């Protein structure tokens, strides 16, 4: 099965591209393999790419002044990730993107995406529609963060993404939910 199938299906959920447009889109994709613990984005460097995961798992996290890690994104197959602020504004990244497993990713450069979007209307539509969906989802996470207890947030996540919760280390999940690893441990033992 082609490594492009996933991302093309993803697009097809929103818009229809002609064969030649698909060709063009594929031509801007760069295939990259990364080993577990390898960094794909690092603070100080511009996050050049939108990254799509074909196989594997990646997290994006922020390292604060006290050396604590705060995970913004946990991504697995068929998900996108990047330091979005850096990618869009062409400024040095503030976050790390680190492979949690050996992974196969497809990368598309900012300039190439913009160039294609300016020419191909349906591709622009795809990114618009998809980003709007992500945005709606982001509000849900915000609500959860400001209104739920740690225990509720933990179970909400585990119920929503059981496959991810069992796949990533607990301290990563903890730093994603804004809970200490010890508290997660206690929440689990309580049940």
Partner DNA sequence: TTTACTCCTTGATAAAGGTCAAGCTTATTT
Partner DNA sequence: AAATAAGCTTGACCTTTATCAAGGAGTAAA
Give the chain's largest Cα–Cα span.
56
Sign of CA dihedral 7, 130, 174, 156: negative
CB of 150 vs DNA, minimal distance in Å: 4
Q: Tell which positions 152-171 bind DNA, by CB under 7 A.
A: 169-171
- For 123, the enclosing helix (H) or strand (E) is helix 121-147
Q: Is 62 an interacting residue with respect to its own copies (CB under 8 A)? A: yes
CA distances from 107 to 31, 95, 118, 183, 184 (A): 6, 17, 19, 36, 34
Site membership for DNA, residue 151 (CB under 7 A): yes
Asked if 70 interacts with its own copies (CB under 8 A), we say: yes
Pairing of strands 69-76, 95-99: unpaired
Q: Kindly tell me which of 127 and 171 has the beta carbon lying closer to DNA.
A: 171
Q: Quick check: 28 and 112 in contact, CB under 8 A?
A: yes
Tell which one of 18, 31, 145, 149 touches its own copies (CB under 8 A).
145
Q: Which of 4, 14, 79, 127 binds its own copies (CB under 8 A)?
A: 127
* Nearest distance in Å: CB 186, DNA: 6
User: Angle at CA 73, nearest 5°, toward 118 and 35?
Assistant: 95
Sites of contact with DNA (CB under 7 A): 68, 149-151, 169-171, 178-186, 188-189
Sites of contact with its own copies (CB under 8 A): 62, 64, 68, 70, 72-73, 84-85, 87-89, 117-118, 121, 124-125, 127-128, 131-143, 145-147, 175-178
């Amino acid at each position: 099965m082609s490594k492009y199938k996933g991302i093309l299906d993803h697009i097809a959920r929103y818009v229809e591209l002609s064969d030649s447009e698909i060709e063009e889109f594929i031509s801007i994709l760069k295939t990259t393999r990364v080993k577990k613990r390898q960094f794909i984005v690092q603070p100080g460097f511009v996050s050049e790419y939108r990254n799509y995961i074909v196989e594997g798992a990646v997290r994006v996290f922020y390292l604060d002044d006290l050396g604590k890690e705060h995970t913004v994104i946990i991504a697995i197959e068929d998900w996108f990730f990047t330091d979005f602020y850096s990618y869009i504004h062409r400024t040095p990244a503030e976050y790390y993107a680190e492979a949690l497993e050996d992974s196969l990713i497809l990368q598309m450069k900012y300039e190439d995406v913009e160039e294609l979007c300016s020419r191909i209307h349906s591709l622009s539509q795809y990114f618009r529609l998809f980003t709007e969906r992500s945005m709606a989802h982001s509000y849900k996470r915000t609500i959860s963060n400001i209104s739920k207890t740690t225990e509720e947030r933990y179970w909400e996540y585990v119920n929503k993404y059981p496959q991810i919760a069992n796949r990533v280390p607990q301290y990563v999940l903890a730093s994603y939910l804004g809970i200490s690893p010890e508290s997660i441990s206690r929440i689990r033992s309580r049940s």
